[in-house]
Structure 1
Amino acid sequence: MRLVTYRSEPAAAGRLGAIVNDLVVDLHDFGVVTGTPLPDNMLDFIDMGPATVTAVSRLLNEYSDDMPVGIAVPLANVKLLAPIPRPRKNIFGIGLNYVEHVAESSRTLDTSKELPKEPVIFSKPPTTVVGPGDAIEHNKNITQQMDWEVELAVIMGTRAKRVSKEDALKYVFGYSAMIDVSARDCRRAGQWIYSKGQDTYAPFGPVIITADELPDPHNINLSLTLNGVTKQSSNTRHMLFNVNHLIADISAGITLEPGDIIATGTPEGVGAGRSPQEWMWPGDVVEAYVEHIGTLRHPIVDVTPNN
């Protein structure tokens, strides 16, 4: 399934939907019609577990050519929000997870040129999340070095504690796209959370594709453009630590819970690694593409206080 959080009117609350034949099917209303109680939000749906995903996917296929009246609207007529508008916990970010990105970071940032021997983990608060098309805020009083990073995002489906690499993918609910925005000049004594954790610094979406439709997350193209110019283009097969490894490593010491998000790192081509360095500024438009999932397109806007 391709799952979204959407609203059909500007003042409406976000609701859980599934994309079927260019329609957004409201899953709560679909459940009423089919006698299958379903929630109206993504986190509660994830909590219902893998059996519900299988059952709903089967039902949607059965009704795909004859969808009941009044429970679906054209995709073109809705506003997509972040699939999980407010994560329950901080996003788990992974740094330096593509070999060439390690090299470019070592040339211009205070990171080692040696490949990490274990995943480099940081976090982004829930307030970083914005949905498709929303503005990324630029405050020139805080940063003059706003950077881009396209990433595959992993959404956990079941509680994972000390799981093996071999079993790790069984705990995944689905996958999405994320832009890990970074203020490179806001790193503090080696700590990254203020650099990467500012408001709007995690554009997320446009959909979550459930794991049953993407059984191998390790051969996915991803790319990013700034003002139409390609800056990043790679494939998840070049990850230093794959999704299995990341889940096993994090869950060894931190319990992963349903709805938790892991942003799996970015390939080479970030602004800090270029010569001369390049940054995002108000008026720019950044677009990130992840194969099978879709494109995030976001304007950079000035929010510098007038004082």
Structure 2
Amino acid sequence: MKYVSFLGDAGPGVGVVLGDHVFPVPHGYAVSSDGAPMGLLELIQRGTPGSVPCSTTPLPLADVRLLAPIPRPPRNVICVGQNYHQHSLEFDASGYNSTPSNGVPDRPVVFTKAPSSVIGPGEVIPLHDNLTTELDYEAELGVIIGKGGRGIPAEEALSHVWGYTIINDVTARDVQRDHRQWFLGKSLDGACPMGPFAVTADEVDLTDLLVETRINGELRQSAKTADLIFDVPTLIATISAGMTLEPGDVIATGTPAGVGIGFDPPRFLSAGDTVEVSITGLGTLINTVGGPPQTGEGEPA
């Protein structure tokens, strides 16, 4: 199933996408204990199966404002760095890696992005030009945890996955380098576009997904998930080894080569740029660049 979080005439909601239409999940089904409409996060947390009852009156997909599938994650987005061979090499060669590295890590490099960094498709990525002049893009496959746990074995890891989405791990490279850690440079407000869809795991073949980024129509990144240094089961096993993963947690699995710092000279994002991130079966996440940080509105509870 392909889910969206959206803002329609009746307010925020969750729906299933079929073709060019959204079939809303009725509020009579998707309600919390206090009667408030539930977002996709709550449906995942309560163990919603792959299919749920939907309205028989669809909404044109073009007529609703799509939000990030999980507009405000309850915890930081868990991210993995240097997880494609060629990107790991380009990152080291760029001079922006302030941590010791021999090119390709022997263990997953894990960091996080603040929940306040998440924005939806169509929203503007803020320039934050008072803090950075080196804003970069990173196309990533996002893993949505459905069944939590600690010490999850790699061979059981995929049974803990609810589904997948697209993430653009926007990064202030100068902030990342100057502070000698990644959190601040990764967690600027609006620096985690997510969406447009959340697709259940049964519809996604992890072995052969094409991950691509286009800036103003120009192809910059293109790689298959088969090129991951550490695959999704390994990442889940590593992250959960001593930390409990919870339903609704999101893991960004790393970006391919072709980010802005991989060029000579670097090609950073500028005001007015259009960033398109596509992954097989997960759609295309489109955002423009420029303007101040935006305040979210109308997000599902």
Correspondences of 1:170-249 after superposition (within 5 Å): 170-187=159-176, 188-214=178-204, 216-249=205-238
Q: Which amino acid aligns with 2:202?
A: D
Structure 2 gaps, min length 5: 294-301
Structure 1 gaps, min length 5: 61-66
Aligned with 2:154 (options 141, 159, 165): 165
The question of whether the paired residues in 1 share the 8 Å contact of 2:27 and 2:37 is answered with no
Paired with 2:89 and 2:17, the residues of 1 have a C-alpha distance of 40
Partner of 1:4: 4
User: How many residues get paired?
Assistant: 285
Aligned with 1:75 (options 61, 81, 86): 61
Kindly state the Cα deviation for residue 273 of structure 1 after the two structures are TM-superposed.
Answer: 1.2
Matched, 1:155 2:153: no
Paired with 1:54 and 1:79, the residues of 2 have a C-alpha distance of 23
Partner of 1:25: 23
Kindly state the Cα deviation for residue 190 of structure 1 after the two structures are TM-superposed.
Answer: 2.4
Aligned with 1:93 (options 79, 82, 86): 79
Aligned with 1:119 (options 105, 108, 113): 108
Q: Which moved more, 1:228-237 or 1:21-30?
A: 21-30
* 1:128-159 Cα shifts (integer Å, max 9, x gaps): 00000000000222111101100000000011
Kindly state the Cα deviation for residue 189 of structure 1 after the two structures are TM-superposed.
Answer: 4.1
Partner of 1:293: 282
Matched, 1:134 2:123: yes
Q: TM-score scaled to structure 2, two decimals?
A: 0.90
Correspondences of 1:41-56 after superposition (within 5 Å): 41-49=39-47, 52-56=48-52
Q: TM-score scaled to structure 1, two decimals?
A: 0.88
Partner of 1:64: none
The question of whether the paired residues in 2 share the 8 Å contact of 1:145 and 1:184 is answered with yes
Paired with 1:242 and 1:164, the residues of 2 have a C-alpha distance of 13
The question of whether the paired residues in 2 share the 8 Å contact of 1:27 and 1:38 is answered with no
| C-alpha spacing 1:289/1:240, structure 2 compared with 1 (3 Å) | same
Correspondences of 1:263-278 after superposition (within 5 Å): 263-278=252-267
Paired with 2:251 and 2:281, the residues of 1 have a C-alpha distance of 18
Counting aligned pairs with the same residue, the percent is 40
| C-alpha spacing 1:168/1:200, structure 2 compared with 1 (3 Å) | same
